[in-house]
Amino acid sequence: MMQREFAGEASVTKAVIPAAGWGTRFFPITKAQPKEMVPVVDRPVVQYVVEEAVASGCDDILIITGRNKRAIEDHFDISAELNEHLRNSGDLKLLAESERLSSLANIHFIRQKEQRGLGDAVLCARQHVGDEPFAVLLGDVICVPMPGERPCTGQLIDVFRRYGAPVIGVETVPDHKISDYGIIDGTLIEDRVYQILDIVEKPLLSETPSNVGAMGRYVLTQEIFEILGRTKPGKKGEVQLTDALRKYPEMYGFMPKNTRYDIGDIPGWVVSNLQLLMQDERYRNLIMKVFSPSNIIS
Ligand code: UTP
């Protein structure tokens, strides 16, 4: 198969983070600021995503942005005035954190001129990525690995290196969510690994090939760009990444050992905050107190 050349190869070092979407489900929060900058516990969503890419071995990161997304660039830039202020006021802990943030990785930005869909956003990475395999991490999804496990993208990269073909991160999808996901038709070939025969964007529950769907992390190869270039707009009039993926001659699905938090809409964001606050020893007691029966007025 054409991708076999990648099997066993040195790690994937490039990551692409699409973050150019409208974020209409977050309106009015997203009228003047990006959805990817909404805070979850103590950081904007996109910082979790960049940190996952870096911890997975990707030191070259391309964030796909658009109009109203300047805050993402500023977030990872050096803030000379702030650093000067922190130095002068002796807040060395915060200074170190500010410096860490601006030197996390080589972060590049490119604008998707029109929001023509996730597939079109990935296509914007063509020139930057060149002919190397690369990871794609959706900018509104947080993945927290199970204790002792590699970050989600790192787990996918390990599978990519074993099989030498593109890998899609997948998870079990409840019935009422099937029509929100790209759903795979595949065969389980080893623990957590599926050989994918097909993938369908947002199928009806009555027509779905399975209950296993894409969860926002991918490791892809350069062939996707040529395929995306000839992929016509599909569901919602957008160029769907799923429609391009199904044309890969060989690909795998992998169910990572992690918990995924979907920050794509307000309920997902609220629940993610609560769940992550409960896992954070700084805030757990506070949350328990707020939700203790004596504080809940029914
Ligand atoms: P979504 O499907 O959540 O779309 O995108 P959206 O436009 O951001 O949000 P809604 O539906 O209007 O509320 C999934 C990921 O793909 C990116 C988004 O920024 C998000 O990280 N995306 C989507 C793009 O980069 N470009 C697009 O044209 C569409």
Classify residue 237 by burial, with Cβ atoms within 10 Å: 0-12, 13-18, 19+.
exposed
The answer to whether the CB of 134 falls within 8 A of the CB of 59 is: no
Q: Which residues contact 269 (CB under 8 A, 6 or more apart)?
A: 26, 38, 40, 263
Please list every protein residue whose CB sits less than 6 Å from any atom of ligand 1.
18-25, 35, 64, 112, 115-118, 120-121, 138-140, 264
The answer to whether the CB of 225 falls within 8 A of the CB of 136 is: no
Closest CA relative to residue 24, chosen from 76, 68, 73: 68
Mutate which of 112, 140, 217 for ligand 1 pocket (most atoms within 8 A of beta carbon): 140
Q: Tell which atom from ligand 1 comes closest to the C-alpha of 25.
A: 13
Owning domain of residue 202: 2-293
Scan for tokens 């198969």, then name that residue.
1
Count of domains in the chain? 1
pLDDT at 4: 56
Residues 54 and 104: their CA atoms lie apart, in Å, by: 7
pLDDT at 235: 85
pLDDT, averaged in runs of 10, over the chain (298 residues): 58 96 94 95 98 97 93 96 97 97 96 96 98 97 97 98 97 96 97 97 96 98 97 93 96 98 96 96 94 77
pLDDT at 68: 84
pLDDT at 167: 98
Instruction: Please check whether residue 298 lies inside any domain of the structure.
Output: no
Instruction: Please check whether residue 192 lies inside any domain of the structure.
Output: yes
CATH of the domain at 215: 3.90.550.10
Residues 253 and 169: their CA atoms lie apart, in Å, by: 6
Q: Which residues contact 49 (CB under 8 A, 6 or more apart)?
A: 17, 36, 137, 138, 139, 141, 142
The answer to whether the CB of 1 falls within 8 A of the CB of 249 is: yes
Residue nearest to atom 8 of ligand 1 (CA): 21
pLDDT at 1: 42
Residue nearest to atom 18 of ligand 1 (CA): 21
pLDDT at 64: 98
pLDDT at 8: 65
pTM of the entire predicted model: 0.95
pLDDT at 108: 97
Closest CA relative to residue 40, chosen from 115, 180, 139: 139
